[in-house]
Amino acid sequence: MPIGFRLFPRQGSIAPELVAQFRDIPVANVSDSMSRMSAAGPQIRKMHRSGVLIGPALTVKSRPGDNLMLHKALDMAAPGDVIVMDAGGDLTNALFGELMLAHALNRKIAGFVLNGAIRDADAIYETNLPVYAAGVTHRGPYKDGPGEINVPIAICGMVVKPGDLILGDSDGVVAIPANDAEDILVKARAKQRSEAQQMEAIKAQTNDRTWVDASLHRLGCDFHGQN
């Protein structure tokens, strides 16, 4: 089996019940609960109109500008899967467009994260299937391979393993390791509750801002005669 041109079955995945519990948690709160060390990068932006991307990852690795393995992933994916593809971030050729979008809808795929370009951007926006990508171009892809499916990949330093939970909103995309998801859920919910309390204090104008000056003093800031 040649390295770089092979398919694997996905071994395990995050439980559907656990997936559902992340649906109402902002990506920012999850990111903060993971020490702010995991993100797909600011260039991976949503191409759909609105809504949350959530589901277990089916991973794809391909050479830039080639979507043969993305087509195969469409046929392998189960309903509710998120197809996550690293194609090197190259924007010369589109990896995904309107015809593949229609096939994805038939397959009940939850969405896509593509480290590369899309085309038929209006159709993706209007159909509103969650799609995140690095850019848009009208130039079509090649279909020659090589590539791999269900292997660990990385997008801008964010490692994604098959079966990890993918969560996306207007702030971007985060991958939650399946083995750590329960712990991250607890921390993210605590973060969400804390921020809700802070927002209520801000609205009531009772929020404590003394931490700002305390931090400046601790870090050695010179106030030049200011209190």
CA distance 112 to 54: 10
24 annotated among ligand-binding-site residues: no
Q: How many CA atoms lie within 13 A of 158 on its CB side?
A: 33
Which pLDDT tens digit goes with each residue over 174-223?
Answer: 999 999 999 999 999 999 999 999 999 999 999 999 999 999 999 999 99
* 98 in a labelled binding site: yes
200 belongs to an annotated ligand binding site: no
What band does 124 get if pLDDT is binned at 50, 70 and 90? very high
Band the pLDDT of 11: cuts 50, 70, 90: confident
Q: Which of 87, 60, 182 is nearest to 142 (CA)?
A: 87
Q: How confident is the model at residue 226 (pLDDT cuts 50, 70, 90)?
A: confident
**CATH code, residues 6-187:** 3.50.30.40
Check whether the bond before 177 is cis (ω within 30° of 0): no
CA dist 190 and 112 (Å) reads 28
Average pLDDT, the chain: 96
* The predicted structure's pLDDT at residue 13: 86
CA distances from 222 to 12, 113, 211, 215, 216 (A): 55, 46, 16, 12, 8
Can you tell me the mean pLDDT for 47-52? Answer: 97
- The whole-number average pLDDT for the span 147-151 is 98
Q: How confident is the model at residue 118 (pLDDT cuts 50, 70, 90)?
A: very high
As a three-state string, the secondary structure of the chain is CCCCEEECCCCCCCCHHHHHHCCCCCHHHHHHHCCCCCCCCCCCEECCCCCCEEEEEEEEEECCCECHHHHHHHHHCCCCCEEEEECCCCCCCEEECHHHHHHHHHCCCCEEEEEEEECCHHHHHHHCCCEEEEEECCCCCECCCCEEECCCEEECCEEECCCCEEEEECCEEEEECHHHHHHHHHHHHHHHHHHHHHHHHHHCCCCCCHHHHHHHHHCCCCCCCCC
At residue 1 the predicted structure's pLDDT band, cuts being 50, 70 and 90, is low
Q: Is 63 annotated as a binding residue?
A: no
Judge whether 111 and 168 are in contact, CB under 8 Å: yes
- This prediction's pTM: 0.94
Specify the pLDDT at position 204. 96
For the segment 81-116, what is each residue's pLDDT rounded down to a tens digit?
Answer: 999 999 999 999 999 999 999 999 999 999 999 999
> Is 119 within any annotated ligand binding site?
yes
Does 89 appear as a known binding residue? no
- 144: pLDDT strictly greater than 80: yes
Q: What is the mean pLDDT of residues 51-66?
A: 97
Which residue would you say has higher pLDDT here, 74 or 11? 74
Average pLDDT over residues 152-165: 96
